[in-house]
Amino acid sequence: MSTALRITEIFHSLQGESNTVGRPTVFVRLTGCPLRCQYCDTAYAFTGGLIYELDQVLKEVESFSTPYVTVTGGEPLAQRACLPLLTALCDRGYVVSLETSGAINVEDVDKRVIKVMDLKTPGSGELSKNLESNIEHLSSNDQIKFIICDRKDYEWSKTKVEEYGLHEKVADVLFSPSNEQMSAKELAEWILADRLKVRFQIQLHKYLWGNQPGY
């Protein structure tokens, strides 16, 4: 298997989402994605990028002297070389997380990697791309994320949480308002009213830096 990767950017920032929000983290953003979610904020990563050999990626990650690494996209698993990258990062002692759309099989992802996996809501426009069989490959170290666009998405997400017993399956169930589509305050109030056992999150990096690449 080739270990060459097409990469849009490697950068150092604060983790903006998940249950490590706020931690200084190195992000490795792979190029390409088979989905076209209507709220996507990283369309610049669909094409382009530069070819890196695995050793080049590891050297650049090391230069930031940070123990947390997130591999993201686009959809990182669309490149098969993502798998050896994840394993190599784990072998070097990093705390590694993978941000994935849930549309590609996660079974072969190194078990040491924390998977932060979406279930695409109806409002995403990509509901049909969900590979719900991925849920059986999630563990108590992983997280599952729902991006909520409206009340229909919220109700759909609640149903999926119960259907798959996600509270017992993963470390955290994340409910996030779609930026500029769903009021964060309103979503928070729905969660409180329904006594949901989920983690509400907003995208910290957008409040700090907006939609700038490299953050």
pLDDT tens sequence across 147-170: 999 999 999 999 999 999 999 999
Region 108-121: mean pLDDT is: 98
Tell me, what's the pLDDT at 172?
A: 97
Q: Which domains does the chain have, with CATH numbers?
A: 5-209 (3.20.20.70)
Q: Are strands 5-14 and 143-148 parallel, antiparallel or unpaired?
A: unpaired
Give 215's pLDDT tier (boundaries 50, 70, 90). Answer: low
Specify the pLDDT at position 204.
86
Q: What does the pLDDT read at residue 209?
A: 74
How much is the pLDDT for 205?
77
pLDDT tens sequence across 74-97: 999 999 999 999 999 999 999 999
Residue 208 has pLDDT above 90, yes or no: no
Under 8 Å between Cβ of 80 and 46: no
Q: Please report, rounded to a whole number, the percentage of residues in the chain having pLDDT higher than 70.
A: 99
pLDDT band with cut points at 50, 70 and 90 for residue 1: low
CB 39 within 8 A of CB 179: yes
Cβ–Cβ under 8 Å, residues 205 and 211 = no
Q: Is the pLDDT of residue 5 over 80?
A: yes
Q: How confident is the model at residue 2 (pLDDT cuts 50, 70, 90)?
A: confident
Lay out the sheet containing 5-14: strands in order across. Answer: 50-52, 5-14, 24-30, 68-72, 95-100, 114-118, 143-148, 172-177, 199-200
Mean pLDDT of 167-190: 96
- Give the span between the Cα atoms of 115 and 117, in whole angstroms: 6
Please compute the mean of the pLDDT values over residues 7-20 and round it to a whole number. 94
pLDDT in tens, 27-57: 999 999 999 999 999 999 999 999 999 999 9
Q: Count the neighbouring beta carbons within 10 Å of the beta carbon of residue 99.
A: 22
Q: Which amino acid is at 28?
A: V
Q: Looking at 26-30, 67-71, 101-105, 179-183, which range is the least confident one?
A: 179-183
* pLDDT at residue number 8: 98
pLDDT of residue 167: 94
**More confident position, 207 or 30:** 30
What pLDDT is stored for residue 179 in this prediction? 87
Average pLDDT over residues 103-124: 98
Contacts of 136 (CB under 8 A, 6+ apart): none
